[in-house]
Amino acid sequence: MARKARNSEAPMAIHSKLLRYMDEVARTGSIRQAAERLNVAASAINRQIIALETRLGRPMFQRLPRGLRLTASGELMIAHIRQTLKEYERTYELLLDLEGLRTGTVTIASMTEPANGLVSTVGLAYRKKYPRVSINVKVGLVDQIVRFVEQGEADLGLGYNLPSDHGLHVIQSIDVRLGAVVAKNHPLASQRTVRLSDCADYPIVAAAPGVTIQRTMRAAFRRMSLNITPAFETNSTALMKTLVRDGHHVTFMSRPDLRREEGEDALKYIPITGAGIPTQPLSLVQRHNSTLGVAASLFAEQLSLALQKVS
C-alpha cells in the first residue's frame, strides 16, 4: 500500500502541478470537480490554467455553461501531458526497483570461455551490489545460445560469431584476437608482443579438435610453417589455464576469456604478431523487440562496460 501511495504522488514532486491540474480538469470537465479530487483550491487550478493560456497565447479550454471542453490546442497539450506523466510513472517504478533490487533472476546463455572469464567476473561484482538477485548461466554452443535467447529461456546471450540473421538484437560487440597466454613468471611474460615461433620454443597447451581456438591456431601455425606437437590437448579452457600457471607452458586464448585471471595478475595475455590470426566478434545479445527487466538490464550494462575495457 505504501508503494502505491508513493506512485500516486510521485509526478507532483518533479513535474509542475499544472500537468496534474490540466489532466484532471480535462477528465472531469470541471475546475471545481478537479479541485475536489486533487484536494486543492479551485482558484489555484484556475490561475495555473490562465497563466498557461497567457504564455501560449491561445485557450486550452472552451468555457461552456456546463463545464470546460478542450480546444484543439488543448487536445495537443493534454496528449503531451498524459504521455509525460505516464513515462514518469514508469520511470519512477524502475527507480523504486533500483533501491535494492529486492529479488530477481538474470539468465544468460554463454559460451564456455566468456562464461569462465567475463561472466564470472562481472557476475561476482554484480552480486556484491545486488545480493538478492540470482544469476543463472547456461553454457552452450552458438545454436544453443541463439535458441535460448530467441525462445525467451535466457535474457541475454554472449558468444563468438553469433549469427546476425536471427531474431537477436546486438547490445554490444567487440572484435577480439587470440593471443599467447602465459603465467606472470614465464620467460615470455615480459614481452609486449610475441611471434608464434617464440611460443613454439615452449611446451604448448592446445585446444582439442572441434574447439574454435584449435582451428584458428592450427591454421596460423600452418601459415608460419611451424610443426607443433602439443604437450597437452584439451577441450577444457579451465584446464588450459591451470596448466600454464606452472610458468613453463604456453596456450592461446582471447583477452576477454582471461578477464578474471588478468585481474588477479595470475596470467598474462600477449598479442601475437606476424601470424595473420583473424579477429572474431564477441557479441552480447538479447531477443529482438524485447524489453529487459531491471535486473537483466543492469547486468547487461555491466557486461557491456567490461567488453569495452577489453576491446
The amino acid at residue 164 is: S
**What are phi and psi for residue 195, nearest 5 degrees?**
-100, 160
The amino acid at residue 91 is: T
Distance (Å, rounded) from C-alpha 294 to C-alpha 286? 14
Nearest to 137 by CA among 302, 296, 297, 310: 296
Distance (Å, rounded) from C-alpha 72 to C-alpha 77? 9
Question: For residues 270 and 192, is the Cβ–Cβ distance under 8 A?
Answer: yes
Q: What residue ranges define each of the domains in the chain, with the CATH number in brackets?
A: 2-98 (1.10.10.10), 104-173+282-310 (3.40.190.10), 178-278 (3.40.190.10)
Distance (Å, rounded) from C-alpha 229 to C-alpha 205? 10
pLDDT of residue 3: 37
Least confident range from 82-91, 124-133, 200-209, 245-254: namely 82-91
Higher pLDDT, 5 or 36: 36
- Calculate ∠ Cα 117-156-103, nearest 5°: 95
Distance (Å, rounded) from C-alpha 170 to C-alpha 167? 10
Report residue 241 as a C-alpha cell: 589455464
Report residue 80 as a C-alpha cell: 503531451
pLDDT of residue 243: 94
Distance (Å, rounded) from C-alpha 68 to C-alpha 178? 71
Distance (Å, rounded) from C-alpha 300 to C-alpha 285? 9
- What does pTM read for this prediction? 0.61
Distance (Å, rounded) from C-alpha 170 to C-alpha 262? 26
The band of 295, judged by pLDDT with boundaries at 50, 70 and 90, is: confident
Segment 150-207, tens digit of pLDDT: 888 999 999 998 887 667 899 999 998 889 999 999 999 999 999 999 999 999 999 9
* CA distances from residue 128 to 99, 125, 158 in whole angstroms, order as listed: 15, 5, 22
Distance (Å, rounded) from C-alpha 215 to C-alpha 160? 14
**H or E segment to which residue 51 belongs:** helix 42-56
**Average of per-residue pLDDT across 89-102:** 63
